[in-house]
């Protein structure tokens, strides 16, 4: 079977826009989504590599599965909603521990989505129209809201993650580089996010391949395959 | 189980009942049955009482099947999601008011045909079919007070009858389910419906988890875990009301040439990996074929209920239509405490043909995904996907094909399936057409079927043949050792006439048997050392971890 070469996992609370981000990137459009069930697997050709992407469900019902989807991951994209502080807090409280099963050299990206809803969005566009794919939706402007989570908060979380992972800031990509603000709706910085992450994943793939098969996604999964418990059949 | 074996030797007789109650104000021919059909023993005015074991519900009912279209189940609604601060979703179309936004003080809310409520023992709302649970918390509080008041006397409340409504209560572990209904369904049928709702909740959370959660925290808000799943319950309840699969406890197969079905089964049989236990191919929610692991079904067969719940869960969300899904799912009739891991992927761009592979191994995604690739490839080379979707374009079949004038619709469930095949109970019925196109008329017809079914399976006075003259149609229900049959005729048909043409219908079914049913269910062995007591086939015991963070 053709095995994927590296794994990227999207984590974050329900409704923050993980599926929308991935959909925007893969399908080039923003479409109404439904809440994800379990995890959805996608393959993305990136140069000579097949990168697997797991879009996980943020619902609490599926919480326990996170560590399974993260097993051996080369990158984890922690997603929150810039208009919902709780969604950032959840990343630390609920999702960070799930990444324990990720690869030891896993990279972390922190993504604040739905910036199009904030009153800072127009400002952002002025300074960076390079990456913008669509004009901002003007009808939205009157209802713009004050952003709840700022980039500094994400940077602070990134540093906490490094601490949690006992990583040295010098050995990993800089926080400023790994904290993103996006809009799946307008496409703002979505490609930039995924392309940055994929580019960083490639060296990890090479590393994993050099270390032999024990590090690859598939073999890791076989190790625990025997652990089937006997359930009671009524 | 009263309904499971309608044909114990002790009851060779047959009760013929003239239906003359408020349901059918129309004419009631008092004549005795005279017929040329030899299988019919002489009619008796009073059938022998059946030995029944009390309150046992007909335990295997089911199947979800979205033959009837359900406009209320669009996937775009967003209830259950927390309201985002200041969210202005201008681009996405404004969310239409859902049933969940209904004003619970309005008369229209009270006038609903059937309400279903789920609450916790602490009286906390968990689910309401209409209206938002929050707004209903005092109503649910009253219900719980009622339940516990009667409980305190070491009793259990089962039902309350009012002039035009039945209230039915079911308690399962820490959950209380309540149905408030104006339909013609019997208390037993309503109870069964509530059990389906309960099982669907288990299919997402498992019984042990729910028990454990409430052990730790009596007033836990279970909606936290069910957030986003309300649609699954909404859809289930609609299906149970409109899909005979649930009433009959049987699975409806997609009519297909036997050779095609067998080829597809053979193909699934080959695409296996360790710990794979069920491979299920469905098209438009109708079963194409299901392959079962030999050792597993030796201990426990795949129940129609479990299949219905699984298909309902898949059908309720378009989340399965992109990517390859890997998600835990419990088959509560198989094992209420364990999880299977379901691989779900549509095989065609239109998302009509769906492959579901169930494994007991949480970590086997890549291996199972590979099975799907093999299935896909083999289907491509055989051209069976086209053959399959070709069969999907037309409606499955119309009653006209039977060639029996005045016959409008029927439900036929064979009962003479050899046990050694471990077959799923199946049934067949034509598409609804003619006067039964509107939802209202469909409800009316299913009310009648429900009513006949409850008479046939009555615990106190079961019947074997019922001729029932309703307002706009005439129905005949008949159960023998070989089948259970419900037929609906135009009102012009006479009793003798109806019975006469049944032979023709039965002959047609016999002829079409190979197309309408799975005759020889395929099996495979995926466990390393199959045989009794194998552990490989058991679902993973629930340690999904979501209650760890309580
Ligand atoms: N305005 C705006 N809305 C967005 C954006 N991204 C997502 N949404 C909306 O937010 C809602 C949730 O998006 P999803 O992508 O389904 O969220 P999710 O994180 O995948 O949620 P789960 O699958 O339940 O974990 C949808 O209604 C989207 O239309 C965005 O960038 N801007
Ligand atoms: Mg999602």
The answer to which of B90-94, B255-259, B503-507 has the lowest mean pLDDT is B90-94
pLDDT at B161 over 90: no
- Choose among B479, B428, B475: nearest CA to B458: B479
Alpha carbon of B65 to ligand 2 centroid (Å):
25
Q: Is the separation of the CB atoms in A54 and A8 below 8 Å?
A: yes
- Choose among B305, B391, B392, B385: nearest CA to B346: B385
Residue A155, token pair as written in the block:
């940077």
* Minimum CA–CA partner of A185 in chain B: B91
ipTM: 0.84
Q: Is the separation of the CB atoms in B85 and A83 below 8 Å?
A: yes
More confident residue, B467 or B110: B467
Cβ of A68 below 6 Å from ligand 1: no
* Domain at A6-116+149-233, CATH class: alpha beta
Which of B74, B89, B90 to mutate to test ligand 1, by most ligand atoms within 8 A of the CB atom? B89
The answer to which of A44-48, B24-28, B297-301, B537-541 has the lowest mean pLDDT is B24-28
* Per-residue pLDDT tens digits for B284-312: 888 999 998 887 767 777 889 999 999 99
| Residue contacts between A and B (CB atoms, under 8 Å) | 175
- Give domain limits for chain A: 6-116+149-233
Q: Which domains does chain B have, with CATH numbers?
A: 30-81+396-524 (3.30.450), 89-242 (3.30.450.70), 256-394 (3.30.450.30)
Separation of alpha carbons B541 and B339, rounded Å:
6
For chain A, give the number of residues. Answer: 234
pLDDT at B358 over 90: yes
The arithmetic mean of pLDDT across residues B102-117, rounded, is: 81
When CB atoms are compared, the residue of A68, A84, A230 closest to B535 is A230
Q: Is the separation of the CB atoms in B358 and B377 below 8 Å?
A: no
pLDDT at A190 over 60: yes
For residue B10, the model assigns a pLDDT of 36
* Per-residue pLDDT tens digits for B393-428: 666 788 988 888 889 999 999 987 766 556 789 999
Average pLDDT of chain B?
A: 77
In this structure, which ligand is nearest to the CA of B89?
Answer: 1
For residue B2, the model assigns a pLDDT of 38
The arithmetic mean of pLDDT across residues B243-271, rounded, is: 92
Distance from CA of A114 to the nearest CA of B (A): 9
pLDDT at B331 over 90: yes
pLDDT at B96 over 80: no
For residue A19, the model assigns a pLDDT of 95
Separation of alpha carbons A19 and A58, rounded Å:
10
For residue A62, the chain B residues in CB contact (below 8 A) are 327-328, 544, 546
More confident residue, B508 or A215: B508
Which residues are paired to A113 by β-bridges? A81
Alpha carbon of A34 to ligand 2 centroid (Å):
7
């Amino acid at each position: 079977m053709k095995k994927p070469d590296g794994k990227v996992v999207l984590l974050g609370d329900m409704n923050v826009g993980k599926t929308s981000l991935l959909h925007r990137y893969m399908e080039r459009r923003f479409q109404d989504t439904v809440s994800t069930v379990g995890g959805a697997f996608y393959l993305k050709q990136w140069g000579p590599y097949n990168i697997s992407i797991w879009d996980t469900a943020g619902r609490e019902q599926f919480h326990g599965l996170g560590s399974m989807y993260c097993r051996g991951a080369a990158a984890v994209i922690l997603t929150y909603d810039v208009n919902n502080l709780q969604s950032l807090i959840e990343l630390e409280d609920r999702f960070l521990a799930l990444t324990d099963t990720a690869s030891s050299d896993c990279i972390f990206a922190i993504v604040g989505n739905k910036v199009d809803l904030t009153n800072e969005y127009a400002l952002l566009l002025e300074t960076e129209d390079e990456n913008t794919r669509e004009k901002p939706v003007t009808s939205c402007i009157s209802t713009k809201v004050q952003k709840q989570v700022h980039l500094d908060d994400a940077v602070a979380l990134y540093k906490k993650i490094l601490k949690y992972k006992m990583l040295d800031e010098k050995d990993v990509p800089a926080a400023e580089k790994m904290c993103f603000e996006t809009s799946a709706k307008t496409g703002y910085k979505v490609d930039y996010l995924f392309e940055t992450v994929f580019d960083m994943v490639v060296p990890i793939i090479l590393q994993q391949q050099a270390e032999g098969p024990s590090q690859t996604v598939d073999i890791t999964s076989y190790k625990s395959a025997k652990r089937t418990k006997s359930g009671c059949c009524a | 189980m009263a309904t499971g074996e309608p044909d114990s030797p002790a009851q060779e007789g047959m009760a013929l009942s003239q239906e003359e109650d408020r349901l059918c104000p129309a004419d009631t021919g008092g004549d005795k049955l005279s017929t040329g059909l030899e299988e019919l023993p002489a009619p008796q005015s009073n059938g022998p009482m059946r030995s029944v074991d009390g309150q046992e519900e007909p335990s295997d009912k089911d199947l979800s099947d979205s033959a009837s279209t359900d406009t209320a189940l669009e996937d775009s609604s967003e209830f259950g999601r927390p309201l985002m601060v200041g969210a202005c979703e201008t681009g996405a179309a404004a969310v239409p008011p859902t049933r969940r936004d209904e004003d619970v003080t309005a008369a229209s809310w009270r006038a609903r045909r059937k309400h279903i409520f789920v609450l916790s023992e602490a009286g906390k709302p968990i689910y309401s079919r209409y209206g938002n649970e929050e707004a209903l918390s005092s109503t649910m509080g009253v219900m719980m007070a009622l339940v516990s008041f009667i409980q305190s006397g070491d009793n259990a409340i089962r039902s309350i009858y009012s002039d035009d409504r039945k209230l039915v209560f079911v308690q399962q572990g820490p959950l209380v389910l309540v149905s408030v209904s104006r339909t013609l369904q019997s208390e037993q049928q309503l109870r069964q419906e509530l059990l389906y709702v309960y099982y669907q909740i288990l299919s997402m959370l498992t019984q042990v988890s729910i028990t454990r959660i409430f052990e730790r925290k009596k007033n836990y808000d279970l909606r936290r875990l069910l957030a986003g799943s309300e649609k699954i319950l909404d859809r289930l309840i609609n299906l149970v009301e409109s899909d005979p699969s649930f009433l009959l406890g049987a699975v409806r197969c997609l009519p297909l040439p036997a050779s095609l079905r067998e080829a597809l089964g053979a193909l699934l049989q080959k695409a296996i990996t360790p710990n794979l236990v069920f491979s299920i191919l469905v098209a438009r929610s109708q079963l194409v074929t299901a392959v079962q692991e030999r050792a597993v079904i030796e201990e426990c067969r795949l129940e129609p209920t479990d299949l219905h719940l699984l298909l309902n869960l898949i059908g309720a969300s378009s989340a399965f239509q992109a990517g390859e899904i890997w998600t835990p799912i419990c088959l509560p009739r198989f094992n209420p405490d364990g999880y299977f891991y379901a691989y779900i992927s549509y095989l065609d761009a239109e998302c009509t043909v769906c492959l579901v592979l169930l494994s007991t191994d949480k970590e086997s995604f890549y291996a199972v995904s590979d099975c799907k690739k093999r299935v896909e490839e083999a289907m491509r080379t055989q051209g069976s996907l086209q053959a399959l979707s070709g069969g999907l374009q037309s409606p499955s079949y119309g009653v006209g094909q039977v060639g029996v004038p005045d016959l409008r619709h029927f439900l036929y469930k064979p009962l003479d399936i050899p046990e050694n095949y471990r077959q799923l109970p199946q049934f067949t019925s034509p598409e609804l057409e003619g006067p039964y196109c509107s939802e209202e008329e469909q409800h009316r017809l299913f009310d009648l079927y429900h009513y006949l079914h409850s008479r046939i399976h009555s615990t106190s006075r079961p019947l074997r043949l019922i001729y029932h003259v309703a307002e706009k149609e005439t129905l005949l229900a008949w159960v023998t050792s070989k089948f259970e049959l419900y037929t609906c005729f135009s009102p012009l048909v006479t009793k003798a006439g109806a019975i006469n043409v049944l032979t023709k219908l039965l002959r047609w079914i016999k002829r079409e048997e190979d197309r309408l049913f799975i005759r020889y269910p395929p099996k495979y062995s995926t466990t390393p050392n199959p045989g009794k007591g194998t552990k490989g086939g058991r679902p993973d015991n629930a340690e999904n971890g979501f209650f760890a963070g309580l």
